[in-house]
Structure formats: structure tokens, C-alpha cells
Amino acid sequence: MYSTAPVNFWLTAASVRVFGANELGERFPSFLAGVLTLALFFVTFRSPLGDRAPILGTLFLSLSIWHVFWSQVGRHFAP
């Protein structure tokens, strides 16, 4: 088991309590982390030279197979 799994389990359990035992409840923490990662990436790499590079970087990150996969996981609750 990887070292951050308990945090993921606690956040998912809280989400299931709020949204119910359905797809939204189990995937909401991962979705939120994915969206916040994109926002953080853009804000972090924004420079006084312009917004083109961070916009393109955020676009590439949002289309990354790896990022999309981890932004929608619910595997620890899958049957």
C-alpha cells in the first residue's frame, strides 16, 4: 500500500457520507484534486511575460492520460 492511501480513504469516506454510496461519492475527492492541480499549475507557472506558456501547460496536463486516469479513480471501492 502506498503511503498516502489512508488520506485518500478518509477523504473518500467523507465524500461518500456527504454524497452517498454512488459514483459521485467515491470519485469526488479525486476529481477535486485533479481540478485543483490544474488551477495550481496555472497559478504557479504564470509569469510576467504572459499567460501563453501556463495556458498551454495546463492544457497539456488536462489532456494527459495519466492525469485524467488519476482524476477519476474509484478503484478502492470497485467490486
pLDDT tier at 30 (50, 70, 90 boundaries)? Answer: confident
Task: Give the distance, in angstroms, between the CA of residue 73 and the centroid of all CA atoms in the same chain.
Answer: 9
Flag whether 79 is in a domain: no
Q: What is the mean pLDDT of residues 12-34?
A: 89
The pTM is what?
A: 0.74
- Number of domains comprising the chain: 1
Provide the domain limits for residue 13. Answer: 5-72
Flag whether 40 is in a domain: yes
Contact assessment for residue 35 and residue 29, using Cβ atoms and an 8 Å cutoff: no
Q: What is the mean pLDDT of residues 50-73?
A: 86
pLDDT tier at 39 (50, 70, 90 boundaries)? Answer: very high
Dihedral pair phi/psi, residue 47, rounded to 5°:
-130, 165
Among residues of the chain, what percentage have pLDDT more than 90? 33
Flag whether 26 is in a domain: yes
Is a pLDDT exceeding 80 seen at residue 62? yes
Flag whether 77 is in a domain: no
